[in-house]
């Protein structure tokens, strides 16, 4: 199981590398001089945004590859593209080639990342699913810590290796996934969907039962649920069929919840992307400069420290999400960042005051911790849980379009906004986060403790939110029961 978690996590490592590497090299004079760039503005928007925009194009690959060839093949193909893209970007001699490399990296990252969520979510037992999916998304910070720590050193180089080396490191997790992914078992739900029922049962017994008994009550129950919910001739066999996302009122509600995690259906703005984290991730060095920290080395060092503190928040949220539940985690995290951003707006509204600037920087770091606690695990976990098997791969592909489309606002719009209005950007996110809290409270269903198949039953209730919060502690066979009866 630990190898499975690790291999899946390698798929999410590139995003952490990309945001931090680009945020770090964006502040380096060596990079700016070589490509005639500045830390903010239209040129920077294009370089940052092409990665995000290309992740939008992965909808078809995310829909076709996982359902047709399996989760492992899809992860392999996506990570291979990341390896090639990172090599092209790191060796680029001109801006066009650099952008081309980022195109490939974005395409591969979207394909690999979405497949990893299906892969890990369908393999893990329900009582640990929140923790494992949280670790998957938290691996983002492993890339972030590695990249930001490395750039503290390379930023001192007086040559182009200062920014080329960190980009090369991006390919390491992807390359490890390419080498190891086929040593892991395939998703039992995918195996069942293509008629390989015996293999599916054996994998469930190996991963969900301490005894490994393929005929234990626990495995019998899980197989019955899969047989009831996974259609052998479902729309997942037809790459073009996206109807399961919108076919019934239940399907539309589940899709709405996916959109809420990725975006709000009316404003087309991502909750997870527009809560302010894009501002912190990509442009932290610029924000530190606006707060009065001018030294490039200090900016890179603080960027590194922010990666570590955010990682601690993500791990804490991952460890607790199976205890406190999905709804409460989102509400605590979103309410917290709303308050913090309001404080940051007040502190950084006045320039030239060292005490206020230092306090503002401290709250920026606190924002990273609280956001990571409330959202890092949920961005990977919740969409995968609320989607049915038949619509899971397509739904995660659809989520890519929504999330990355809204992220374009961050990567294309924020450089210009920071250049034009400075600290006032925070106020936009304060009001948006307050709106998020209200929507989450009234619409987000609790999925803690349910199997993936049981979650489908929750959405068939007249009031899914109320039902889910009142029935979280239903009896289910556990490993102990499995051992007792076998």
Domain residues of the chain, as ranges?
Answer: 2-470
pLDDT at position 301: 75
Query: What count of residues does the chain have?
Result: 486
Burial (Cβ within 10 Å: 0-12, 13-18, ≥19) of residue 240: exposed
Section 395-411 average pLDDT: 70
Asked if residue 9 lies in contact with residue 135, where contact means CB atoms within 8 angstroms, the answer is yes
Asked if residue 452 lies in contact with residue 122, where contact means CB atoms within 8 angstroms, the answer is yes
Q: Which residue has the higher pLDDT, 29 or 349?
A: 29
Confidence of residue 118 (pLDDT cuts 50, 70, 90): confident
pLDDT at position 345: 79
pTM of the prediction?
0.77
Residue 281 has pLDDT above 70, yes or no: no
User: Residue 163's closest CA among 28, 282, 17?
Assistant: 28
What is the percentage of the chain residues whose pLDDT exceeds 90? Answer: 20
Burial (Cβ within 10 Å: 0-12, 13-18, ≥19) of residue 407: buried
pLDDT at position 321: 92
Section 111-117 average pLDDT: 85
Taking every pair of Cα atoms in the chain, the longest distance, rounded to a whole number of angstroms, is 71
Confidence of residue 292 (pLDDT cuts 50, 70, 90): low
Lowest mean pLDDT among 58-67, 138-147, 381-390: 58-67
Q: CB 351: neighbour CB atoms within 10 A?
A: 12
Residue-wise pLDDT for 428-474, tens only, equals 888 888 988 999 999 999 999 888 888 988 998 999 999 998 875 44
What is the rounded distance in angstroms from the CA atom of residue 400 to the CA atom of residue 406? 10
Asked if residue 367 lies in contact with residue 230, where contact means CB atoms within 8 angstroms, the answer is no
Average pLDDT of every residue of the chain: 79
| DSSP assignment string, 393-424 | HHHHHHHHHHHHHHHHIIIIIHHHHHHHHGGG
Q: What are phi and psi of 269, to 5 degrees?
A: -125, 135
User: Residue 387's closest CA among 375, 379, 396, 378?
Assistant: 396
Classify residue 50 as left (phi > 0), alpha (psi -120 to 50) or beta: alpha
**What SS3 state is found at 146?**
helix
Q: CB 343: neighbour CB atoms within 10 A?
A: 17
Candidate ranges 225-229, 262-266, 403-407, 411-415; pick with highest mean pLDDT: 225-229
pLDDT at position 114: 82
Residue 322 has pLDDT above 80, yes or no: yes
Of the CATH numbers 1.20.1250.20, 3.40.190.10, 3.30.465.10, 1.50.10.20, which one belongs to the domain with range 2-470?
A: 1.20.1250.20
């Amino acid at each position: 199981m630990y190898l499975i978690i690790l291999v899946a996590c390698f798929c999410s490592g590139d995003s952490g590398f990309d945001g931090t590497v680009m945020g770090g090299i964006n502040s380096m004079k060596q990079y700016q001089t070589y490509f005639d760039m500045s830390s903010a503005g239209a040129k920077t928007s294009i370089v940052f945004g092409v990665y995000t925009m290309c992740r939008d194009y992965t909808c078809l690959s995310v829909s076709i590859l996982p359902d047709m060839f399996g989760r492992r093949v899809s992860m392999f193909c996506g990570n291979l593209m990341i390896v090639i893209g990172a090599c092209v970007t790191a060796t680029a001699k001109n801006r066009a080639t650099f952008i081309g490399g980022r195109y490939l990296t974005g395409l591969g990252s979207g394909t690999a990342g979405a497949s990893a969520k299906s892969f890990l979510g369908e393999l893990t037992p329900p009582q640990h699913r929140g923790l494992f999916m949280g670790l998957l998304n938290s691996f983002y910070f492993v890339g972030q810590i590695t990249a930001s720590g490395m750039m503290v050193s390379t930023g001192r180089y007086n040559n182009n290796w200062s920014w080329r080396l960190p980009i090369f490191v991006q390919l390491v997790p992807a390359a490890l996934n390419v080498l190891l992914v086929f040593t892991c078992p395939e998703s039992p739900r995918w195996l069942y969907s293509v008629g390989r029922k015996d293999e599916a049962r054996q994998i469930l017994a190996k991963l969900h039962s301490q005894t490994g008994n393929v005929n234990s009550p626990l495995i019998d129950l899980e197989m019955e649920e899969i047989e009831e919910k996974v259609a052998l001739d479902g729309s997942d066999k037809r790459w073009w069929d996206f109807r399961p996302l919108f076919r019934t009122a239940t399907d539309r509600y589940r899709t709405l919840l996916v959109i809420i995690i990725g975006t709000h259906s009316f404003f087309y703005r991502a909750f997870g992307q527009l809560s302010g984290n894009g501002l912190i991730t990509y442009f932290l060095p610029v924000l530190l400069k606006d707060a009065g920290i001018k030294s490039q080395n200090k900016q890179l060092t603080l960027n590194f420290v922010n990666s570590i503190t955010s990682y601690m928040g993500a791990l804490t949220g991952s460890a607790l999400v199976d205890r406190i539940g999905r709804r409460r985690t989102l509400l605590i995290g979103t309410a917290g960042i709303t308050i913090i951003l309001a404080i940051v707006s007040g502190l950084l509204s006045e320039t030239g005051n060292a005490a206020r600037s230092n306090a503002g920087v401290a709250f920026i770091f606190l924002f990273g911790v609280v956001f990571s606690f409330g959202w890092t695990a949920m961005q990977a976990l919740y969409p995968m849980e609320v989607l049915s098997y038949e619509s899971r791969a397509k739904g995660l592909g659809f989520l890519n379009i929504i999330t990355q489309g809204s992220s374009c606002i961050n990567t294309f719009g924020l450089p210009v906004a920071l250049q034009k209005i400075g600290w006032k950007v925070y106020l936009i996110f304060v009001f948006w986060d307050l709106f998020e809290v209200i929507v989450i409270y009234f619409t987000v269903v609790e999925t803690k403790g349910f199997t993936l198949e049981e979650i489908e039953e929750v959405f068939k209730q007249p009031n899914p939110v109320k039902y889910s919060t009142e029935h979280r502690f239903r009896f289910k066979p556990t490993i102990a029961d499995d051992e007792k009866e076998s």
